[in-house]
Amino acid sequence: MKNKTYESFEAAVADIPDGSTIMFAGFAGPGTPRNLIAALLAQGASGLTIISNTPGRWADGEIVDLKVLVDAGRVRKAVASFTAAPHPSMSGVFAELYEAGKIEAELVPQGTLAERIRAGGAGLGAFYTPAGVGTELAEGKEVRSFDGRDYLLELPLRADYAMLRAHRADELGNLQYVHTQRNFGPIMARAAHTTIVELDLPIVPAGEIDPDHVHTPGIFIDRMVVVPADAIQETVRNG
């Protein structure tokens, strides 16, 4: 049995080279691999292309998410469903860099983003979606009509690495998530060459997780690190 368990976040991200494309799970907190992001920041890889729902939070504060990589200048390009804050009253470093032309971005409707990631992990060449038809996002894309409705051709996304947070795993990497921690985890785990997961709970022996209750099969998981009690936990944020 291949040992997928790493003793530290540092070791789990040590080989990630400059210029890598990395998918990061997480939506509004739950599922964000905060400890892996902190380790990647310390490791120093730069020129990264990040694929995620947002390029980090828009507000200031001490919370570790993709904002720390953006603020440190490690990100060359972001593929996300937000390139500006959801409300004009919020801003953030990413938005300032993007408006100034200092960072690249590809803005993708969230459902299209999820499906492109799913398609990337599912071996598909492309798919057609109705989202974005008749908008400026359709510019340059093939439009095709099926049964009288127009659809846009969208291409799959793959990555060198994916990073996610899950609730628990067995030693083979069979994962369970808790509630909305799941979000992009299952689809990103399949769409990357190397998938790294941080875990809420200690790793259990094979057979401890009911096979009918596995959310992400271990075949998609390459590296696991259990989050120690003194590392970053997902906590309730106010405001």
Partner 1 sequence: MADRIAMEFEDGWVVNLGVGMPTLCSNFVHPEREITYQSENGLVNYGPLAVEGEEDPNLVNAGGQYVIPIPGMAVLDHADAFALIRGGYVDVTVLGAYEVAANGDLANWRLAGRKGGGIGGAMDLAVGARNVFVMMEHTTREGAPRLVERCAQPITAPGVVKLVATTLGLFEITPDGFVLREIAPGYEPDEVQAATGARLIVPPDLREFQTRA
Chain contacts with partner 1 (rule: CB under 8 A) = 27-31, 81-88, 95, 98-99, 105, 107-112, 114-115, 117-118, 129-137, 167, 177-187, 215, 233-236
Tell me the C-alpha distance between 169 and 205, whole Å: 9
Instruction: Please name every residue paired with 63 in a beta bridge, in sequence order, or none if there are none.
Output: none
Cα-to-chain-centroid distance, residue 180: 14
Question: Measuring CA to CA, which residue among 38, 77, 88, 33 is closest to residue 55?
Answer: 77
Nearer to partner 1, 16 or 98 (CB): 98
Q: Which residue has the tokens 């947002």?
A: 54
Nearer to partner 1, 64 or 108 (CB): 108
Instruction: Please name every residue paired with 50 in a beta bridge, in sequence order, or none if there are none.
Output: 22, 78
Question: What's the closest the beta carbon of residue 150 comes to partner 1, in angstroms?
Answer: 10
Nearer to partner 1, 38 or 95 (CB): 95
Nearer to partner 1, 14 or 28 (CB): 28
Question: What's the closest the beta carbon of residue 49 comes to partner 1, in angstroms?
Answer: 17
Question: What's the closest the beta carbon of residue 188 comes to partner 1, in angstroms?
Answer: 9
Question: What region, left, alpha or beta, does residue 49 occupy, with left being phi > 0 and alpha being psi -120 to 50 degrees?
Answer: beta
Instruction: Please name every residue paired with 127 in a beta bridge, in sequence order, or none if there are none.
Output: 154
Question: What's the closest the beta carbon of residue 218 comes to partner 1, in angstroms?
Answer: 17
Nearer to partner 1, 6 or 151 (CB): 151
Instruction: Please name every residue paired with 224 in a beta bridge, in sequence order, or none if there are none.
Output: 5, 197
Tell me the C-alpha distance between 120 and 23, whole Å: 12
Question: What's the closest the beta carbon of residue 190 comes to partner 1, in angstroms?
Answer: 10
